[in-house]
Structure 1
Amino acid sequence: MTRFEDAFELPNGTIIKNRFFKAAMSEGLADERNRPTEKLVRLYEAWAKGGAGIVVTGNVMVDRRALGEPRNVVIEDEQDLELLKSWASSGTQNNTQLWMQINHPGKQVFKGIVKEAVAPSKVEFEPSLQRYFPIARELTENEIQDIIRRFGATAGVAKTAGFNGVQIHAAHGYLISQFLSNRHNRRKDQWGGSIQNRMRFLEEIYSSIRRKVGDGFPISVKLNSADFMKAGFTEEDSMMVIKRLNELGIDLIEVSGGSYENPRMTGSNMKQSTLKREAYFLDFAAEAIKISKAPIVVTGGFRTRRGMLDALQTRDADMIGLARPMAVYPSLPNELIAGSRKQVQLAPRKTGIKWIDKTAMLELTWYSMQLERIAAGKTPNEKLSPKLALIRSIFKNGMDVFQMRRV
């Protein structure tokens, strides 16, 4: 029977010390020039000591002209190499694998943060959502090739700095996810149409990274099971992408789902049968494991020690992904392995202001503030007032950015 503390081997031979995977959360802890800071060093030291086998960073952007959120870290070259080395050194303590998540937001860029938005095709969001974003223009062939190159360059810097691996963010409606989706990708060239064409952008990014880092450096992908949108990316599409990634030699796949337009990754609109099993995408992952040589991670919804063990022991997941719980309990993997914690209680965070509470973005801001506390050397504050989180976020980011803020 699989235990939390059981080590296992990735397809490329890398040994992971246990079955816990600290999933990416956007930290917002870069400086005003989007450089890494000592806050990130302290935050990732805490998580490394917390016991997870793999710790994944929040969004690191490959192009400073394309920011998903304020204060994303951007890596285009080696100019911040010493800061990155400090970050990597702190996050690889305790035999922890520290992987950098690398990303391009595509058209999911807020008004006021960037000059323009780009996408596979000029397709607008629903009107209620589009008001937060500039209208995106379609990428040219040369721009697509430049972005592919940038992913490889960023991954190469990550390896040089001492990170143990990288994760390609191909989920949650960002640029790669946009290419994968029939809803957002209306191109008529080699990058659009069939799923084989729509996954070409992800394939080329993987190959660009592999050329930079070599065969022994882990490359993972965060992939939607589906985007849950009409005429969008389907579970059948996702299975085809997983098969292809395995053919290419991917080392690990994290399963998620949804986007800004339908945020299933936050647990919204889930069936009771799904919630009973805790993890949101466990049924899909159980099928994906049957066709994947690379380990499958499931993130989202796990709250009890029993539920996590059941997922491992039934082989519905190879690793347990934890995000929000790690913002409140940074040593949660150690506690679960030792058996000193049986479950995680994460009550909904509400302000009492209906239109704000309905968006669920206040909760994400509340968790982001917990990351700031850890980064400052403080302990998380479970009693932190949601209204205080609201006020601070408006002061820091303004109303529009606050409403769409993500962790």
Structure 2
Amino acid sequence: MSNSADSRNILGRTLELPCGAVLKNRLAKAPMSDSLGNGEGGPTEAQIRLYERWAEGGSALSIVGEVQGDFRFPERPGNLLLGLKENQNALRLLTKRATVNGAHIWPQLGHAGALAYLPVSQPKGPSALSIGDFTCAGMSAEEIKALPVSYARAALDAKDVGFSGVQIHAAHGFLLSQFLSPLFNRRSDGYGGSIEARCRIVLEVINEVRRVVGAEFPIGIKINSTDKLVGGLTQEEALEALRLLDTTSLDLIDISGGTYFPGAASCSDNSSSEPYFLDFARRAKELTQIPLMVTGGFKKSEQAVQAVTEGAADMVGVGRAMVLNPCLAEEWVHNSGIDPEFPRFESPPEGGVTAWYTMRLTALGEDAEKNYDLDVLSALRIYEERDTKRVSIWKRKFSG
């Protein structure tokens, strides 16, 4: 790969999406569950400031992870919830401050389905399942047919409060990912069986979202390259899903992988020094004309430069590296800073690394990261205590 100025400057090039919207460079803050909502579906000041900081730091696009359109199936009680009048002013403040410096801000439209947070939900997926300690109910045909309208309503709510686009979440083991996976989807009607049938609800959601938001509003999707589970979505099936997505009006396809199925290994805790999904993205590029974003494992600017230069990705999604340095995009685009130094954790407990990064997000939102010195066990304890408090708030708000 060339190290010429032209090669490095590729991260600073704009990207025009099929709908006509323009992203100012090739670096996006990937969606993460920041767990910074107020427990009633609204944003906190720390959350608003967090996304403002990424915008100030040069990101072309920030995606708010796990934004719900249905309070019955949240991923966590710290998720944002669209459609509540009492939260609209705070959400408008979020989108106003998160779009400074020419940045885009999109919500990741989620529905946890079978992985909905147990203390505030009754999980329900494509099929009733009982796998080890994991159980969930199955959705009726009527409930499935209502999903496109539900996602479209959430997308329109997002547009109304100033989000500049939306990303449909069909990865990481949540509801639409569950429909794609033969491990979760064991239906025998038109929504199960072949990969075409399993992808049907995803296409219906995309089409209905497009119908209500109009032709010029960006719609992205996050999709797995593989579930990394025995019996789950394979790479070959994921590539076939890409062929089907290419027939839609999508503007950006975000390639990721893995699942939050209980006990599954987390891709983000992978110790690999290389990006995770570039080989799949290279194959996907041959199947679609829709711009591709690749997320997972980008730790060095050279990796991002190479991915875009060789054509494996049009956008690079960066998560934890931007948690370590919220100005990373500006520095990588202008080659003015060094790559972040990632912390090393010795034998962390399950969920500990994620909790450490999530609590650092809180520190960023409070402009207090210079004083952030939590160890993994302390971060996990505080993270879980905060969720416990928000469970009570969520129940008071939505159980009446």
Q: Given the two structures, how large is their TM-score scaled by the length of structure 1?
A: 0.89
What is the Cα-based RMSD across aligned positions, in Å?
A: 1.9
Q: Which residue is equivalent to 1:404?
A: none
> 1: CA distance between counterparts of 2:82 and 2:355?
24
* Amino acid corresponding to residue 365 of structure 2 in structure 1: A
2:374 to 355, 378, 384: 384
Identity %: 33
1:33 to 40, 52, 58: 40
> 1: CA distance between counterparts of 2:95 and 2:123?
31
Q: Secondary structure at the match of 1:74?
A: coil
CA deviations over 1:122-175 (Å, ceiling 9, x no partner): 123443xx2xxxx31111122112332111001001111111100001000000
Q: Does the CA-based 8 Å contact 1:77-1:154 persist in structure 2?
A: no
Range moving further from structure 2, 370-379 or 297-306: 370-379
Say how many residue pairs are matched: 381
Q: Does the CA-based 8 Å contact 2:76-2:387 persist in structure 1?
A: no
CA deviations over 1:319-343 (Å, ceiling 9, x no partner): 1110011112111111112222232
* Amino acid corresponding to residue 275 of structure 2 in structure 1: A
> 1: CA distance between counterparts of 2:349 and 2:367?
32
* 1:358 CA displacement: 4.8
Q: Does the CA-based 8 Å contact 1:36-1:73 persist in structure 2?
A: yes
2:342 to 338, 341, 346: 346
* 1:79 CA displacement: 4.3
Q: Which runs of 5+ in 1 are unaligned?
A: 402-407
* Amino acid corresponding to residue 376 of structure 1 in structure 2: E
Q: Does the CA-based 8 Å contact 2:35-2:79 persist in structure 1?
A: yes
Q: Does the CA-based 8 Å contact 1:366-1:386 persist in structure 2?
A: yes
Q: Does the CA-based 8 Å contact 1:99-1:164 persist in structure 2?
A: yes
Give the alignment of 1:197-216 within 5 angstroms: 197-216=197-216
Q: Which residue is equivalent to 2:4?
A: none
Q: Does the CA-based 8 Å contact 2:179-2:199 persist in structure 1?
A: yes
Q: Secondary structure at the match of 2:31?
A: coil
Q: Which residue is equivalent to 1:405?
A: none
* 1:390 CA displacement: 2.9
* 1:381 CA displacement: 4.8
1:119 to 106, 121, 125: 125
Q: Secondary structure at the match of 1:320?
A: strand
* 1:317 CA displacement: 1.4
Range moving further from structure 2, 34-43 or 167-176: 34-43
Give the alignment of 1:2-401 within 5 angstroms: 3-114=10-121, 116-127=122-133, 130=134, 135-261=135-261, 262-268=264-270, 275=272, 278-350=274-346, 357-359=348-350, 361-379=351-369, 381=371, 383-397=373-387
> 1: CA distance between counterparts of 2:127 and 2:23?
39
* Amino acid corresponding to residue 179 of structure 2 in structure 1: F
Q: Given the two structures, how large is their TM-score scaled by the length of structure 2?
A: 0.90
Q: Does the CA-based 8 Å contact 1:267-1:300 persist in structure 2?
A: no
Report the CA distance shift for 1:381/1:3 in structure 2 as closer, same or farther (over 3 A).
Answer: farther
* 1:264 CA displacement: 4.7
> 2: CA distance between counterparts of 1:70 and 1:291?
38
Q: Does the CA-based 8 Å contact 1:348-1:363 persist in structure 2?
A: no
Superposition misfits of 4+ residues, deviation over 6 angstroms: none
Q: Secondary structure at the match of 1:215?
A: coil
* Amino acid corresponding to residue 377 of structure 2 in structure 1: K
Report the CA distance shift for 1:326/1:63 in structure 2 as closer, same or farther (over 3 A).
Answer: same
Q: Does the CA-based 8 Å contact 2:27-2:329 persist in structure 1?
A: yes
Q: Which runs of 5+ in 2 are unaligned?
A: 1-6, 392-400
* 1:222 CA displacement: 0.4
* 1:78 CA displacement: 4.3
* 1:349 CA displacement: 3.0
> 2: CA distance between counterparts of 1:219 and 1:141?
26
Report the CA distance shift for 1:296/1:228 in structure 2 as closer, same or farther (over 3 A).
Answer: same
Q: Does the CA-based 8 Å contact 1:223-1:257 persist in structure 2?
A: yes
* Amino acid corresponding to residue 37 of structure 1 in structure 2: T
* Amino acid corresponding to residue 122 of structure 1 in structure 2: A
